[in-house]
Structure 1
């Protein structure tokens, strides 16, 4: 009986070891991408100027161009996996996407779940509202309806610091937040400054303007943890394309201003 029990334990250990070995051997997303000859990149196409569609419903924006450059340098085809802010992580973790390139801000909460590359850009989060709204600081948000994307960066930044009496209205994505401010359903919105500028440009009659800034947050490429080969390749790719000016050029083209100095985030 003891011999049988010992044998069973050893067999179980061998099976477990083989399973772990197989999992470790399979955990190479970079090799999978190259073998597939296609990279699946999650991008929110409802978040201009990072991701959007043109009149022909073709994807465009700074994150789209970044993904195209990445796929070209990888030597594979690009497949854009359309996501919203809240489902970027679920799509990544369930294997529907190999990585997230979607103004994906680096936060401690997200770092518990996914891995991030070094930053390839940064967003300044602001509160914006029509010119007629008397909003100059956080205290002026009392009694105001302020739109944010549910569970997204702007929600995480504004909710803890908003004064009591602020009515934070949560929507599923940037597209519905934009519709809410344009229709007058809300008085203001918290969003990246680049998105606020894009909304203002597309809807000049609304006289939307930035009222005040909250915080600068770096964003990076998100990937599943335990993928050292892919993470190394991506970090080297970002470093090279920051240095040669291609990534700053894409940012300038779509955001309309120079890329922030990413050195400020180096120690974070």
Structure 2
């Protein structure tokens, strides 16, 4: 058998094999075919995700998920997760997307894709109203509570060497430390600071200065260009028409940053 015939047979065999392989559907097609959008959300992160007094999912991320499902023309299915399991749930197909205070970072972008930002997680410094604090320099010799390994802790540690930074294992413990007088100041997300304010309204805690805004994106599996294009357009459109800002403001009492769509991924 000559080489031309062999090459021809190989080409035919390869063509048949390719024809037999099922086409990989974009997640957008799967969502529309199923008639529902499965969204992974941590309900232990108020005011982004929580259970209301009737034990129903609530919060700004829930409302954003409802808006996305509505714009897709499908039902919403909330997939309860925890912060460490958000990305694993997505990668194991337990959810179609993540809408759960997931910061867009360069490291995460190696594993999953993100939509354009739909919201932000702001890191700030809070203290009693009468505390004269305007910037990092005013934290000298002050006892500041932060959460070990958090974004807020990293920013705080990088910008002040003179503060007495007290590192705790979680948000609740850091808040308790401030309420008990173990620390005077809290460096954390604005959402956690709001929890502090709610627990002790008579202490008049307030945000003294903003450390950094982290862009939050809808997380999706890689290899879904049509779905990513839809999500990018969805975020852009609903930011411009004010719907995403209205959701954010109703829960955090401030507006989204004007440069939200241009915010770069965190390193």
Aligned residue pairs: how many? 254
Corresponding residue of 2:39: 41
Question: Residues 109, 64 of structure 1: CA spacing in aligned structure 2 closer, same or farther, 3 A cutoff?
Answer: same
8 Å contact kept, 1:177–1:189: yes
Paired position in structure 1 for 2:210: 213
Aligned match of 1:66: 64
Query: Which is worse superposed, 216-225 or 204-213?
Result: 204-213
Contact 1:147 1:180 in 2 (8 A): no
Q: Whole-Å Cα distance in 1 between the matches of residues 177 and 255 of structure 2?
A: 29
Partner residue in 2 for 1:146? 145
Contact 2:129 2:204 in 1 (8 A): yes
Question: Quick check: which has more Rg, 1 or 2?
Answer: 2
Query: Which stretches in structure 2 are left out of the alignment for 5+ residues?
Result: 1-5
Q: 2:92 aligns with which of 91, 94, 102?
A: 94
Which digits, 9 at most, give the CA deviation of each residue in 1:51-94, with x for residues without a partner?
22221122211111110111122122212122333332222222
Matched, 1:235 2:235: no
> CA, structure 1 residues 267+158, in 2 after alignment: closer, same or farther (shift >3 Å)?
closer
Which string of whole-angstrom CA distances, capped at 9 and with x for unpartnered residues, describes residues 183-235 of structure 1?
66665433222441343135314443324321122211111222112111111
- What's the TM-score, normalizing by structure 1? 0.77
Secondary structure, in 3 states, of the residue corresponding to 1:210?
strand
Correspondence list, 1:86-235, <5 A: 86-130=84-128, 137-138=135-136, 140=139, 144=143, 146-148=145-147, 151-161=149-159, 163=161, 166-171=165-170, 174=171, 177-178=174-175, 181-182=178-179, 187-235=184-232
The equivalent of 2:262 in structure 1 is: 265
Give 1:81's aligned residue.
79
| Unaligned runs of at least 5 residues, structure 1 | 1-5
Distance 1:147 1:37 in 2: 43
Considering only aligned residues, what root-mean-square deviation do their CA atoms show, in Å? 3.6
93-102 or 197-206: bigger deviation: 197-206
Residue deviations 1:93-142 (CA, integer Å, cap 9, x gap): 22222211122222222222221111112233112245587866546376
In structure 1, the residue matched to 2:3 is none
Query: More deviation in 104-113 or 155-164?
Result: 155-164
The 5 Å alignment of 1:46-61 reads 46-61=44-59
